[in-house]
């Protein structure tokens, strides 16, 4: 696919083209938008889609430029327009001039606009999303991750997966196992769920009488995994003793049960993961020699804030999943997607999935439209580590849910009204609700 990039001379189209190239998309750049009548002869050949970037024009000027470019393009070429946030009426006017869709990027650097455009192209089906098993995404970071998975999967080497909470570390481990061709199953264990007292016993096994309550011999999970794949999550939470035993497993492929004097072979392939930065961890928290032994085959999972272009695709896939489970036709309007691009999603893909499912459950109206308010409220409930700008702190001992909910709503609508310069029609569209609903909400909150 080849994309025509054109627009205002003040915007760095070349930087945008470089960002799209990282995602495997070819671009033809038309640096300066010609005047009406002068464009057809200057358009490159072989264009499949066109993107018009207009960061700072008024709506009438936007409409004129859209009409000029639409006239020059073949009828089968869709035209995506990047411009400032418009009122619903102005959006309709620009669409009537020949735009196929409109987006309002959160900022006007080449990377941000490119990720927003890529997200729209993927959602519209113009660009086929890249998929690796149950992993989805079209950004350069995700493509690089998929290539690395394909490289390490058939090997017998231990793999270390690094990623923030909610980035999908266990899904990556499952995909590595699926592609490995190993005869056994994948056994998944989270170190954070094991107490310090039981950690060594669970992982490495114990002999009868090894400690109080050990009334029988127990096989450790590492041995029980057989010839399959053993996935150990949150290895940064392992005790120093467990770290020492794990290092022995990695180096000699054998383990000695607690209280025992015999060695048992470990045949499983190990895939380990953590949310912690092991490279800078103090020696007393994580052994340096263990980290050096693990770092050979490392996969780093990008947080969602670094691959925002995948947001529309992920939202749609989670919504499709929900609609299959609970038949309906719930959908996300374009204005809501613009809002989602402005949120940092500290809980990553897990937070987004739960937010979409909760918002879908509250979707109102005959068309099942999901609102940005429902999505962001759901995200706040799921994300204890969200940024201060997105979280309302509360004391459950002193405040009711209704009081906290009112403060969340008030902050949300103050922010959205500030972004839209007080335009209630535009704010209602951004929130995914009707104007009358907005007036009622503001009145109830004392903000009207």
CB 147 within 8 A of CB 158: no
The third-level CATH classification (topology) of the domain covering 2-128 is Rossmann fold (3.40.50)
Residue 97: name the closest of 57, 66, 53, 73 by CA. 66
- Other CB atoms within 10 A of residue 266 CB: 21
CA distance 433 to 350: 25
The CATH T-level fold of domain 306-445 is: Helicase, Ruva Protein; domain 3 (1.10.8)
Q: Cα–Cα distance between 283 and 287 in angstroms, integer?
A: 5
The Cα–Cα gap between 324 and 149 comes to: 29
Q: How much helix, strand and coil, in percent to the nearest 5, is found in the chain?
A: 45, 15, 40
- Phi-psi category of residue 387: left, alpha or beta, with phi > 0 → left and psi -120 to 50 → alpha: beta
Q: Do domains 140-300 and 306-445 have the same CATH topology?
A: no
CA distance 428 to 439: 9
Please say whether the structural domain 140-300 has been given the CATH code 3.40.50.2300: no
Domain coordinates in residue numbering, the chain: 2-128, 140-300, 306-445
Please answer whether residues 102 and 123 qualify as being in contact, where contact means their C-beta atoms are separated by less than 8 angstroms.
no
Low-confidence spans in the chain with pLDDT less than 70: 32-42, 127-130, 334-335, 364-367, 380-399, 401, 418-419, 421, 446-448
* Farthest CA pair distance, the chain: 90
> Helix axis angle, 59-72 relative to 88-96, nearest 10°?
20
Entry pTM: 0.74
Give the pLDDT confidence score for residue 37 in this predicted structure: 45
What is the C-alpha to C-alpha distance for residues 97 and 270, in angstroms, rounded to an integer?
Answer: 58
The pLDDT value given to residue 360:
86
pLDDT tens figures, 279-316: 999 999 999 999 999 998 999 999 998 888 888 888 88
């Amino acid at each position: 696919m080849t994309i025509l990039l054109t627009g205002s001379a003040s915007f760095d189209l070349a930087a945008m083209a470089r960002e799209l190239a990282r995602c495997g998309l070819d671009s033809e750049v038309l640096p300066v938008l010609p005047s009406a009548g002068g464009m057809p002869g200057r358009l490159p050949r072989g264009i499949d889609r066109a993107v018009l970037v207009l960061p700072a024009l008024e709506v009438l000027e936007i409409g004129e430029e859209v009409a000029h470019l639409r006239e020059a393009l073949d009828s089968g070429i869709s035209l995506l327009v990047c411009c400032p946030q418009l009122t619903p009426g102005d959006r309709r006017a620009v669409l009537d001039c020949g735009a196929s869709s409109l987006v309002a990027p959160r900022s006007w650097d080449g990377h941000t606009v490119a990720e927003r455009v890529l997200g729209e192209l993927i959602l519209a089906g113009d660009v086929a999303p890249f998929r690796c098993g149950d992993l989805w995404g079209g950004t350069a970071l995700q493509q690089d991750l998929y290539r690395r998975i394909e490289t390490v999967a058939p090997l017998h080497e231990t793999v270390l997966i690094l990623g923030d909470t909610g980035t999908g570390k266990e899904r990556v481990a499952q995909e590595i196992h699926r592609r490995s061709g190993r005869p056994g199953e994948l056994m998944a264990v989270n170190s954070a769920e094991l107490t310090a007292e039981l950690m060594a016993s669970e992982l490495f096994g114990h002999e009868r009488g090894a400690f109080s309550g050990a009334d029988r011999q127990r096989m450790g999970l590492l041995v029980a995994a057989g010839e399959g794949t053993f996935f150990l999550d949150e290895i940064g939470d392992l005790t120093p003793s467990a770290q020492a035993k794990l290092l022995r497993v990695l180096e000699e492929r054998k383990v000695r049960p607690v209280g025992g004097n015999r060695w048992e072979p470990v045949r499983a392939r190990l895939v380990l993961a953590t949310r912690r930065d092991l490279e800078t961890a103090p020696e007393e928290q994580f052994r340096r020699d263990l980290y050096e032994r693990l770092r050979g085959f490392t996969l780093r999972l990008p947080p969602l804030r670094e691959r925002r272009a995948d947001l529309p695709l992920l939202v749609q896939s989670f919504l499709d999943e929900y609609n299959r489970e609970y038949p309906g036709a719930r959908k996300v309007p374009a204005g809501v997607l613009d809002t989602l691009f402005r949120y940092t999603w500290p809980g990553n893909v897990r937070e987004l999935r739960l937010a979409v499912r909760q918002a879908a459950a509250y979707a109102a109206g005959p068309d099942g439209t999901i609102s940005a308010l429902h999505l962001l409220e759901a995200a706040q409930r799921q994300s204890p580590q969200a940024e201060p700008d997105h979280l309302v702190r509360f004391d459950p001992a002193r405040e009711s849910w209704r009081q906290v909910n009112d403060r969340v709503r008030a902050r949300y609508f103050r922010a959205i009204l500030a972004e839209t310069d007080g335009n209630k029609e535009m704010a209602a569209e951004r929130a995914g609700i009707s104007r009358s609903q907005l007036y009622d909400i503001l009145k109830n909150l004392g903000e009207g």
